[in-house]
Structure 1
Amino acid sequence: MYFLAFMITFSLAGFATAASPTWSTYQPGTFSSVDIRINEEIGEGSAATISLPVPLFPREEKKGPQWGGHFACHDANFTGACHYYVEKRGACHEYEKENWEKYTSIGPDKGQWCYFYEGEQCLGDHVELRHPGSRNLRRKRFDNRVKSWNCWKDE
């Protein structure tokens, strides 16, 4: 799945400092909110840029029982670099090589279950996930191991 970065810039005038990262809540399968991370001191009059993933192809083109999606993020609790994938169910798919062995949290959409494999072409050891997925694959001893996946519709 290819994504186009949509940039939003806003002023943080009057915003003091953030002692720790601040997060919004994300529900897998929706783009209703955005994760915002503030890690450094930000002075008055500073600006920040947020990049939102926007599919190059409208999701409506990939609807129906043969299509399934999942949300995958590099860090625990659906944070860090995140991607939403929509592909045909019942077929093996591979992540982009730059995302191999980097996902820590994965959430399949409702109504489906998926195997996530450590090898290319859906080979090797795997972990099975259903909605809402896993906020931390380390608990399943599968953190940063996934290269490919296959999903099926719940019957």
Structure 2
Amino acid sequence: MAQHAAGLNGRRMMSLPSLMLLAAAGALFVAALAHFACIAVGPRAYRLMGAGDSAARAAERGERGPHVAAFVVGSALLVVASYALSGAGWLPGLPLLRWVLGGVSLVLLARAFLFPLLRSHFPGNTDRFWWVSSTICLVLGGLLLFGAMPLWRVG
């Protein structure tokens, strides 16, 4: 999993792919916290995150939909963060590690590049939401993809 090289003074240094997976795990954790914050703070947080007035108004009316969506996305982000930590060698090996990291990276990259086609299906989301979230998906997808590449090497 994690690859280390000897550094200055004999200390171990992590490889670039492991550092990429650690950076992805940290960013995924922060993104999960942002989704959970929407649940705790309520409509104001949904608006701040750019989820749109429809989600914020639904939360104001006491509907569960926005909270359920935020919880599911936040939980999924924590799971992927755990897989990134596993790939970096900070957690024990998780099942289907390279498949999960590879699959999630492709989904994130697809989400980043296909957002112009997705926008019409989610008309309540703001332009800021689409640009910021697509940029985050691009960065996270790239970090996971390049960080997980050594896991696919055979022999």
TM-score by length of 1: 0.24
Which structure shows the higher strand fraction?
1
Higher RCO (C-alpha 8 Å, min separation 6) = 2
TM-score, length-normalised on structure 2? 0.24
